Amino acid sequence: MNIIFIGAGNVATHLAKALHAKKQHIVQVVSRTTLSAQKLAESVGASWTTTPEEIEKADVYIYAVSDSALQEVIRRNPQKKGLHIHTAGSLPLSVFEGEMERGGVFYPLQTFSKQKPVDFAKIPLFIEANSATDRELLQKLADSLSKKVYAADSQQRQQLHLAAVFACNFTNHLFAVAEQLLNEAKLPFDVLRPLIEETVQKTTTMSPLDAQTGPAIRHDLNVMDKHIAALTAHLLWQDIYRLISESIQTRK
- Residue list 124-153, contact with a second copy (CB under 8 A): 124, 148, 150, 152
- 194 interacts with a second copy by CB under 8 A: yes
- CA dist., res. 241 & res. 21, Å (int): 46
- 191 interacts with a second copy by CB under 8 A: yes
Q: How far is the CB of 83 from a second copy (least distance, A)?
A: 24
Q: How far is the CB of 51 from a second copy (least distance, A)?
A: 25
- CA dist., res. 231 & res. 26, Å (int): 52
As a whole number of Å, the end-to-end CA separation of the chain is 52
- 186 interacts with a second copy by CB under 8 A: yes
Residue 239's Cβ-side half-sphere holds a number of Cα atoms within 13 Å equal to 2
Interacting span for a second copy (CB under 8 A) from 34-42, 50-58, 135-143, 213-221: 213-221
- CA dist., res. 7 & res. 36, Å (int): 9
Quick one: which of 6, 64, 90, 106 contacts a second copy (CB under 8 A)? Answer: 90
Interacting span for a second copy (CB under 8 A) from 21-29, 47-55, 72-80, 160-168: 160-168
Q: Judged by CB, which is closer to a second copy: 136, or 246?
A: 246
Of residues 93-122, which lie at the interface with a second copy (CB under 8 A)?
109-111, 113, 116, 118, 122
Interacting span for a second copy (CB under 8 A) from 29-37, 50-58, 135-143, 178-186: 178-186
Of residues 41-80, which lie at the interface with a second copy (CB under 8 A)?
66-68
- CA dist., res. 231 & res. 9, Å (int): 38
Interacting span for a second copy (CB under 8 A) from 18-26, 54-62, 133-141, 185-193: 185-193
Please return the burial class of 191, using the count of CB atoms within 10 Å of its CB with bins 0-12, 13-18 and 19+: exposed
- CA dist., res. 148 & res. 133, Å (int): 20
Q: How far is the CB of 135 from a second copy (least distance, A)?
A: 18
Q: How far is the CB of 53 from a second copy (least distance, A)?
A: 25
Amino acid at position 210, single letter: D
Q: How far is the CB of 68 from a second copy (least distance, A)?
A: 6
- 196 interacts with a second copy by CB under 8 A: yes
